[in-house]
Amino acid sequence: MGCPCEELNGDDAPQFPSCIDWIARNQLPDGSWGDDMFFLVQDRIINTLACIIALKSWDVHDYAFKKVYHSSPKICGGVPREAVHAVPTTFLLSLEGMPGLDWKMLRKLQCPDGSFMSSPAPTAYALMQTGDPKCFEFLDRLVGKYNGSVPFVYPIEMFERLWIVDRLERLGISRYFKSEIEDYLEYVYRHWSDEGLSFTKGCPVKDIDDTAMGFRLLRLHGYPASPCAFKRFENDGQFVCYPRQSNQSVSAMYNLYRAADQASFPGDGHVLGRARSYSRAFLRERRASDQLNDKWIISEGLPGEVMYGLDFPWEASLPRIETRIMNLISNDAYLKAAKADFSNFQRLCRLEWLSLKRWCDENNLEMYGVTPQSALRSYFLAAASIFEPGRAAERLGWARAAVLAEAISGCLLMSSNTHDDRTVTAEWLIDEFVNSDDEKPASGGGKKNSQVTSSLAYALRDLIDIHASDDASVADCLRGAWKEWFMAWTKTEREGPRSADTALLLVRTVEICSGRHHSTEQDLKLLPDYSKLEQLTRSICCRLATEAPALTGENMDKIDELDRNVGFEMQELAQCVFQSCSSINRVTRQTFLHVTKRYYYVALCSPETIEHHISKVIFEDVV
């Protein structure tokens, strides 16, 4: 709170009198010192004792003692001296409580800016003991900057950059700050090493919290960060935030879990696997014992956020769901902007859903098994993944394709009991789709199959007309995607491959509707990286569709089973999306991931959970 020390010229007066005045001005009404917005007994006791010592040392501001009955300084003990002097550790933050230090040895651990651990308190104590001018320069600069008060540590520019990027992305408003985020991550990458990161570039003590956050963000933005940094935080099967820590931090382990869960790629070795297993087991154990509060972060939202992360691993977490449940934000400006953005998203969703519902009604899709609930679910899965206001065509293209694929699949499955008959029906539908005129079929009369296929073929032509907007090349690409999907129906009788083909249909529809894809569609298919994305998406979605009906037990058991079935391929897909240097558009690569995560989410979640998310994301107003 303040760092008064004796004047360097020998006068019996504080070197920084503005600190003493600040302490007196900021005493709370009950006589204590500490956070006035949140009461925590440890915070109040430690800060009050520190302020009493500072005031009593100079025998000033006697009125401040009237509300305080008793105090005594707390002296740190039991700290191994060799650990303090030999290498940089967090013990450097507590030097003022350790008499008899060897300052000649300690000066080797001093930061380049003259501080110890970038913290005013131990630096002030070092100044008192040694008169080191570098310590004075650090303190003088800081006291002047903050007008008598000083933060616990300064600077924290690495921490600030990392957590700003993380919060903006999870709030869904990072698209407004693309250049700033790029600059921030360039700064982080310049200071990344196999030693890891700290809260500031000059601090010699690295921590797993900043390292995990930096590693995850760098990798997900295409930077080649190595996981070797995590080896230095592993000890006897455990991962620690700092060497010699006294107890574990929930928030640090949560960030380690997020890094190992989201940014593990094939070829990383085993350290990230061990980090993921350890952090997940630790968090699950804390959750089971209702001990998810943290030793550092005072937030009501932390337990809920950790529980969401455990219940919905990254592979099954859709962006808009995560934003909706996020409650770990203390920045009012960010929160206000995110709420306004999400409210606008909800307004657009409700309008788009009405448009989709009207389209389903106009094409009589309920006749083919498409219920309002299933159509809403298809729209929600698209909107929860692709949520930006300017991407409505992609959302609705995805949703209409999913709805119509459901209707046609139902029609083909009901058409006959034999694969050969379904093949005939599929070929008949293709013929209707390609060769029939655009006149909407009249209801009633004619052969059953003829009526059904004509009606569905009309709906498909209507879908293409809506999204092509008289652009012949877009229409041709959409027809080609649907023909390929139809032909796949004639080659298999199993649900898994059909779901995989539908997943690729959704990817192609999104890309064609976006305008990124249609002019070079055939060229893309010749690229090895594009073929790899298609192969992984097909394989993962096929496995998910095949295995999901057999999943039983608790949610954690389902997560573990899905991880065993498709975990490695999901890592491969993530590597292709985030670390590829190919000429394929990054957003195009992300479309494959969006669609694959949609299948993972559906495989994991119960219908009740999905309905709850639909209500929260689309229909419950943000307040």
For 495-535, the three-class secondary structure string (H helix, E strand, C coil) is HHHHHHHHHHHHHHHHHHHHCCCHHHHHHHHCCHHHHHHHH
- Consecutive 10-residue averages of pLDDT for the chain (623 residues): 52 78 84 77 77 76 55 44 82 84 92 94 93 95 90 94 96 96 98 95 93 98 95 92 84 96 93 96 95 80 92 95 85 93 98 97 92 97 97 97 92 66 70 59 44 77 91 90 85 79 96 77 72 95 84 78 91 92 86 97 94 97 92
How does pLDDT run across 479-538, given as a tens digit for each residue?
A: 999 988 988 877 766 777 889 999 999 999 999 999 886 545 556 666 788 999 999 999
How does pLDDT run across 402-450, given as a tens digit for each residue?
A: 999 999 888 777 755 566 666 676 677 777 666 655 555 444 333 445 5
Residue 296: its pLDDT value, please?
75
Q: Half-sphere exposure of 194 toward its Cβ, with a 13 Å CA cutoff? A: 2
Residue 9: its pLDDT value, please?
57
Q: Are 556 and 284 in contact (CB under 8 A)?
A: yes
* Measured CA angle at 488 (ends 482, 493), to 5 deg: 135
Q: Are 379 and 352 in contact (CB under 8 A)?
A: yes
Which pTM value belongs to this model? 0.85
Whole-number Cα distances in Å, 384 to 176, 217, 319, 538, 574:
19, 21, 6, 21, 19
Helix or strand holding residue 392 (H, E): helix 392-415
Cis upstream peptide for 155 (omega within 30°): yes
Q: Are 406 and 374 in contact (CB under 8 A)?
A: yes
Helix or strand holding residue 353 (H, E): helix 332-362
Whole-number Cα distances in Å, 495 to 142, 486, 488, 492:
66, 14, 12, 8
Residue 65: its pLDDT value, please?
55
The pair of structure tokens assigned to 611 is 């309905």
Residue 444: its pLDDT value, please?
39
Residue 434: its pLDDT value, please?
63
How does pLDDT run across 42-87, given as a tens digit for each residue?
A: 677 788 878 877 887 777 666 665 555 433 333 344 556 677 888 8
CA 607 to chain centre: 24
Q: What does residue 197 show for φ and ψ, rounded to 5 degrees?
A: -130, 160
CA distance 586 to 9: 62
Residue 186: its pLDDT value, please?
98
Residue 421: its pLDDT value, please?
66
Residue 50: its pLDDT value, please?
81
CA distance 402 to 411: 14
Pinpoint the alpha helices (H) of 223-295.
250-262, 271-288
Whole-number Cα distances in Å, 111 to 61, 121, 155:
34, 14, 12
Q: Domains, the chain, ranges and CATH?
A: 17-146 (1.50.10.160), 157-311 (1.50.10.130), 332-619 (1.10.600.10)
